[in-house]
Structure 1
Amino acid sequence: MSKDLFENLIRTNRLNHAYFLEGGNEKFSLWLASKILCGGHDEECITCRRIFNHNHPDVIYIRPEGLDIKVDQIREIHEKAAYKSADGNGQVFIVQSADRMNIQASNAFLKFLEEPKQDVKILLLGQSKEGLIETIRSRVQVVKLDESDGFMNEAVSRGLMFKGLGIFEEIHVNVDQAEQYKDVADDWIKAIRDVLESSKLHAIQKVQLWEKQFENKEQRNICLRLIQSYVKALYAETKGTYHLWGNVPKYTWPELLTWGNAIDELSRSIYSNGHFTLQMESFLKKVCKNVGI
């Protein structure tokens, strides 16, 4: 298994400075970060709990803002790597959906790879190494994770079977979260589709209910990632490629550009602690049409 491989590399001090974990998921990357920074077998220690709860200062997690990872996010990595690690055990940078870095971000990230600090480890996650530019691919060690390490296998082994499970996998919700929200997940997906496919007036009226439907920061983060997934599906629909959202409207490319710009702006505003409902209303005013009212 992949876990045995990495435990052996850590034990024998042969761990490379950068990996692309093909098929990797968030839970696996956090497990690996805990092994790198802690090394123990007790995942309930303080260090491991902080890592798994996303509040360890030496584990820096990057995921797409909108449809891709942008150059400003990579610049933040450079800045954070300039500081010493808080616990003195090094830093781990985890880049979720690394195969969705745009070209400017990819070029900036290449410089980061070429000038590694000794105590920095870089974990890139993604579905296919082919999504990386060749110069990045040649500088990382690619490890295709065993299927047994994947989201869907673990979800099925726990008996998690709801309609939107595949979408939850796509937005990189971990299995624990999928289990926690299994009873409301399909309702969330339906609510998001209903709002995004409504006229502007009706969409703004309906989105006000989300304040109660998505009650806390974690749930609102999932909401945002579901919207990002929906917009990604709109692009796929226009290109005639497969997506998980079933029948969605087909837009022209200029209309899709409006959706893309709007979701990027929404992502930035939400991640910077913007007011949830007001930011959602602003987004809907940009993308929904004045029809059917």
Structure 2
Amino acid sequence: MKKNWQELATYQPRVIKLLANSIEKERLAHAYLFEGKKGTGKKDVGILLAKSFLCEDLQDYEPCQNCKNCKRIDSGNHPDVHIIEPDGLSIKKGQIQELQEEFSKSGVESSKKLYMIVHADKMTVNAANSLLKFLEEPNANTIAILLTEQYHKMLNTILSRCQLLSFHPLQPKVLQETLKESGVSPNIAALVSQLTNDTDAAFELSKDDWFAQARTKVIKLYEVLVNRKGQAPLYIHTEWMSHFNDKEKQDTGLDLLLYLYKDILSVQVGNDEQVIFQDLMQLVKQHALQMTQRSVTEKITSILEAKKRLHANVNPQLLMEQLVLTLQEG
């Protein structure tokens, strides 16, 4: 899906405002370092910057998306846009040298050229030193974009030659709306946006049948805990363990259960709009009246404790059986 600056501003308002301003005033820096966690939109912004830089029909700062340059950048075969990614575990000196050779030729389409180095922190020392020479002699019509999730691992000499732009993790509400706009059901979008702030991971999780079933299993466990207390250990044995069959899945299951109890607490303190399981609002409100805040807080604490013990290699089935006995109390 093609993105424009206006859409990306929802995710990274500060970064986009700065870049849009620089494009409009024709004051783009010759080197940028985009740093931030995975899934915060760094590469999307880099691609869009390439389009705005090379677009034949720029509207203020928005690329037209339809000219020859925009289309070739989309398809990944523009001769003056080069994207370098790690070859195996690192970016080698040879890759940077090839880039330098490419850039010593005049631009194929125009005098403008742009290169992007993905995971720039994975450059070998020799590759980083090669790049440094390149950055020290900037061509007026060349832009470098370095992307990294760990900029503290990069040479200070490289950092000092780049304009640093920090990409912040996405807010759950922003991610939730993005997922919904892309056709993800509101119930799944609300949960996924709590579990990750990585856009790519969120889309992957929202399409996973296992996750949709996990949500159903957690709701069922909760109903068993409330209405058929004695049957909770049996439910763990017959239905829970086969679905949450490794540590990562068990951790997710505990997270979903935790959010349900947090929803009850949200209603008790008057924050109905914070409720994640919105489709269970009637049930959540009913139980918020039946439980004390202290009781709900204790249940939340016991789930957090179970998450800790799960990572200390306690037997998962035993852990869940003990947890449901604790949750049934009060």
TM-score by length of 2: 0.47
Partner of 1:157: 178
Q: Comparing both structures, which one devotes a greater share of its residues to helix?
A: 2
Are 2:92 and 1:53 aligned?
A: no
Counterpart of 2:53, as a letter, is I
Are 2:95 and 1:95 aligned?
A: no
Q: 1:26 aligns with which of 43, 59, 74?
A: 43
Task: Give CA-to-partner distance per residue, 1:164-203, whole Å, 9 cap, x none.
Answer: xx99x6xxxx85x9969975899xxxxxxxxxxxxxxxxx
Bigger relative CO (Cα 8 Å, ≥ 6 apart): 1
Q: 1:36 aligns with which of 53, 67, 77?
A: 53
Q: Which structure 2 residue ranges, 5 or more long, are not aligned?
A: 1-12, 211-310, 312-330
Moved more, 41-50 or 60-69: 41-50
Counterpart of 1:121, as a letter, is I
Are 2:166 and 1:144 aligned?
A: yes
Matched residues in 2 for 1:97 and 1:72: separation?
16
Counterpart of 1:157, as a letter, is T
- Shift of the 44–178 alpha-carbon distance from structure 1 to 2, 3 Å rule, reads farther
**Contact kept in structure 1, 2:34 and 2:145, CA below 8 Å:** yes
Measure how far apart 1:45 and its partner are. 2.9
Counterpart of 1:21, as a letter, is F
Rg bigger for which structure?
2
Are 2:14 and 1:6 aligned?
A: no
Partner of 1:211: none
**Contact kept in structure 1, 2:116 and 2:145, CA below 8 Å:** yes
SS of the equivalent of 2:16 reads: helix
SS of the equivalent of 1:13 reads: coil
Q: 2:89 aligns with which of 67, 71, 81?
A: 67
Counterpart of 1:28, as a letter, is V
- CA RMSD of superposed structures (Å): 3.6
Amino-acid identity (%): 31
Task: Give CA-to-partner distance per residue, 1:30-68, whole Å, 9 cap, x none.
Answer: 011111111443223332121122111111000111111
Measure how far apart 1:5 and its partner are. 1.2
Matched residues in 2 for 1:57 and 1:178: separation?
33
Measure how far apart 1:126 and its partner are. 0.8
TM-score by length of 1: 0.53
Counterpart of 2:29, as a letter, is N
Paired positions, count: 182
Q: Which structure 1 residue ranges, 5 or more long, are not aligned?
A: 187-246, 248-293
Matched residues in 1 for 2:114 and 2:151: separation?
20
Counterpart of 1:29, as a letter, is G
